[in-house]
Amino acid sequence: MQIGVDVGGTNTDGVIMSDGKVLVSDKKVTTANVGDGVFNVIKSVLDKGKISSDKITSVMVGTTHFTNALVERKKLQKIAAIRLCLPASDSLIQMIGWPEDLVSTLNPQKFFAKGGYEVDGREISPLDPDEINKIIDEIGTKDIESIAVNSVYSPLNSEMEERAAELISKKLPNVKISLSHAIGKVGLIERENATIINAALSKLAEDIIEAFETALKNLNIKAPLYISQNDGTLMRPEKVKSYPVLTFACGPTNSMRGAAFLSGLEESIIVDIGGTTSDIGYIKQGFPRQSAVATDVGGVRTNFRMPDIVSIGLGGGSIVRENGNKIGPDSVGYLLTEKAKVFGGDTLTATDIAVAKYNLDIGDPGLLKGLENDTIDNSKKQITKLLEDAIDKMKTSVEEVPAIFVGGGTIINKEKVKGVSELIIPDNFAVANAVGAALGQVSGEVDRVFHYSKLGRDKTIEQASEEAKQKAKEAGAVEKSIEIIEINENPLAYLPGKSVRLQIKAIGDLENI
């Protein structure tokens, strides 16, 4: 049996799953010490299901805590950033274009040093240990606990970053080190930004992981803990301590994966309706389609993997105005149970409309007396239109596809909308994100430039696929479950030898599932 937990900004959701079924689920309030919320929800589902803690084989947690810390500029560390690049790629300083308040919070020390690679793998210049040691000595005199290291073309070759890390560890054994190759893809500035964010989160990562581990210990759960990554696969706590930034955007990913699982569909539109916003995404082979463009996190441009989603200001708490002709984008949010009319409040919300329209047993429907049929009809039309427009953006063809509706705000729409072949609201729709966390698989990836002229296309892809599978196995995947789910070929213009950047990803199930 696995436990899946989703730690959101407002609620912490939990489920226990066994043999591909949800046995029991619950929601608790997210606490200031996130470990307490996790403890509460796990205790509750164990009690509700009358399940003994030694029956649990693994615990998977998805959390938006790190994203929120960055957005709120809280609990961030002072950092140093070293770029291995000289004499090239020094024309933009680190953290250029960042919001000023974030830069002043991090108070970064910035360094350039010799190193880095060319696109064809040659060194721009060799790493100079003396130069790096001098930089380390200077960092040692400042009050810095975390260092980001980024070398030009590190996604093609990580060696120099690793050598720099060794030198740092020797002189400053207690300083945390974030290496860019493990975080981002080609695109020096975006990758560096993500690496610096990661460095700033490293202390928080230790605290959070400790809080989760303490919660499990107090519940007497000895099963291993896994944390969700942004692509729906899992990491061990040790890796999260080093690479917390990889958890960014795991929330929408988990809810999409959970929705796919609960509905049994592999390819579909997913609509996750919360209290304030709806996220609309697309799953293919059970995994969310990834965004192709650079993504902003807390005002910083990055290039790491994010699900391709459209967010609209429509949720259960969306405020209804102008006789139903305007819905949202503002919402009463977590105050729904105080402010909405069915709960005795004075604000007309999308939830009130749903209660009136579908005769739902929520709050006190009697409080909606005097609500005009006109208002209900107009509101419903607006809700449908908002959903239809957003769904249309995510579709790649005019053909109708099924749509799965999940999330706590799902009640506001029960009808099939235009462009959708079938509307599916699965059981346990309100805890789809925790289900998604519990479903996490482990992955292995290869992302490098290959030259097809050496071995030919087929042989090259075959070898790279084997490498990805091997990495998945090292991450804990059961060998027979490993499969390749993604092969992206990006030809590199102007380069000789039929150069192609190959991105291959293998995933597999964890043991014990």
Partner 1 sequence: MEKLSLDNLEDFLRGTAFLGTGGGGDPYVGGLMLRQELEKGVDCKLIKGSEVDDNDLIVPIAVMGAPTVIVERLPNATSCIKALRKMEELMGRKATALIGAEAGGINGTLPFILSSYTGLPVIDADGMGRAFPELQMCTFGVYGVNCSPVIVRDEKDNEIIVNAENNLASEQFARVICMQMGTKSEIALYPMTGKQMKDTSVHHTCTLAYEIGKSIREARDTGKSPLNGIIDYFKTSFDKRYCKLLFEGKVTDLLRESTDGWAKGTVKLTSLTDSSKEMTVELQNEFLIAKVDDKPVAMVPDLICLVDLETAEPITAEAVKYGQRVHVIGVSVPDNMRTKQALDTFGPVPFKVYDKYIPIEEIS
Q: Which stretch binds partner 1 (CB under 8 A): 227-235, 320-328, 421-429, 497-505?
A: 497-505
The least distance separating partner 1 from the CB of residue 462, rounded to whole angstroms, comes to 20
- Is the CB of residue 380 less than 8 Å from the CB of residue 318? no
Distance CA 208, CA 241 (A): 9
Interface pick for partner 1 out of 289, 321, 414, 416 (rule CB under 8 A): 289
Strand order in 225-228's β-sheet? 21-29, 11-18, 2-7, 58-63, 225-228, 234-235
Site for partner 1 in 131-160 (CB under 8 A): 152-153
> Smaller CB distance to partner 1: residue 97 or 140?
97
Q: DSSP string of 287-334?
A: EEPBP-S-EEETTEEE-S--B--EEES--TTEEEEGGGTEEEEEE-GG
Residue 313 CB neighbour total at 10 angstroms: 15
- Is the CB of residue 164 less than 8 Å from the CB of residue 149? yes
By CB under 8 A, tell whether 186 contacts partner 1.
yes
By CB under 8 A, tell whether 496 contacts partner 1.
yes
Site for partner 1 in 381-410 (CB under 8 A): 392-398
The least distance separating partner 1 from the CB of residue 261, rounded to whole angstroms, comes to 23
By CB under 8 A, tell whether 90 contacts partner 1.
yes
The least distance separating partner 1 from the CB of residue 73, rounded to whole angstroms, comes to 22
The least distance separating partner 1 from the CB of residue 394, rounded to whole angstroms, comes to 6
46, 124, 185, 292, 507 from 285: Cα distances, Å: 32, 41, 23, 18, 12
Within 8 A by CB and 6+ apart from 348, the residues are 319, 320, 321, 340, 341, 371, 375
User: Which of 293, 232, 241 is CA-nearest to residue 485?
Assistant: 232
Diameter of the chain measured on Cα atoms = 79
Q: Which stretch binds partner 1 (CB under 8 A): 81-89, 316-324, 402-410, 475-483?
A: 81-89
Cis peptide before 129 (omega within 30 of 0): no
By CB under 8 A, tell whether 87 contacts partner 1.
yes
Please provide residue 415's backbone torsions phi and psi, each rounded to the nearest 5 degrees.
Answer: -105, 150
The least distance separating partner 1 from the CB of residue 89, rounded to whole angstroms, comes to 5
Burial of 391 (0-12, 13-18, 19+ CB in 10 A): buried
Distance CA 218, CA 43 (A): 10
The least distance separating partner 1 from the CB of residue 185, rounded to whole angstroms, comes to 10
Site for partner 1 in 99-138 (CB under 8 A): 118-120, 122, 124-125
> Smaller CB distance to partner 1: residue 42 or 95?
95
The least distance separating partner 1 from the CB of residue 43, rounded to whole angstroms, comes to 43
Interface pick for partner 1 out of 71, 88, 165, 362 (rule CB under 8 A): 88
> Smaller CB distance to partner 1: residue 377 or 489?
489
The least distance separating partner 1 from the CB of residue 152, rounded to whole angstroms, comes to 5
Query: Residues in the site for partner 1, rule: CB under 8 A?
Result: 87-93, 96-97, 118-120, 122, 124-125, 152-153, 186-189, 282, 289, 291-294, 301, 308, 392-398, 490-496, 498, 500-501
